[in-house]
Amino acid sequence: GKTTRELGFWKDPEKRAAHIHTLKEQRTLQDIETVFPIKSGEERTFSGASEVFESGGKEFIVTMLHDITESKRIYESEKWRREVAEAMQRLTLDIMSSLDLDQVLQNVLTYLGQVIHYDSVCLFLLKDGKIYPIVSKGFVDQDEILNASFESELIAEMQRGRQPMVI
């Protein structure tokens, strides 16, 4: 077999040294999660366990790893979907419980910020082929944004395709 160093697993020698130091003290490690490159150069996430054993008067480390990259991706995707669903549920309750449109719109921005990280955001009202900003957050000159109206090919495209567009 080859060592992890020969295989180029450890990009960070300090992490490798810490792993070996802990192994020498505890003799076994369970539930290790780490990122290693594979032959193609792609980095994958692995879970596994390591154990120290002796043979012929020498100490060896055996490590068993399981590629969990896809499982982690699915987990993160499901976690995001759950966060979106929870935010939408809270938003729906807020909309149903408030008659103050300004407060509802501010809550929309707050809940949107929980599922889509943004530096600035603006919600628009479509009226007579133009869009008018109705609430915004994160802009230097909020008044300038809120007193504008826009007409563009993007708006017409969204109307034809009946699909949202993130810009």
Query: Counting every residue, how long is the chain?
Result: 167
Tell me the H-state helices in 8-137: 13-26, 69-97, 101-115
d(CA 35, CA 11): 9
What is residue 115's predicted lDDT score, i.e. its pLDDT?
81
Token pair 């990280």 is found at 117
Give which of 95, 156, 87, 150 is closest to 122, Cα–Cα: 150
Distance CA 149, CA 23 (A): 64
Q: What is the pLDDT of residues 57-93, one digit of tens each?
A: 998 888 888 999 999 999 999 998 898 888 888 888 8
* pLDDT recorded at residue 79: 92
The string of pLDDT tens digits covering residues 13-48 is 788 888 888 888 999 988 888 888 888 888 898 898
Q: How many whole angstroms separate alpha carbon 109 and alpha carbon 120?
A: 10
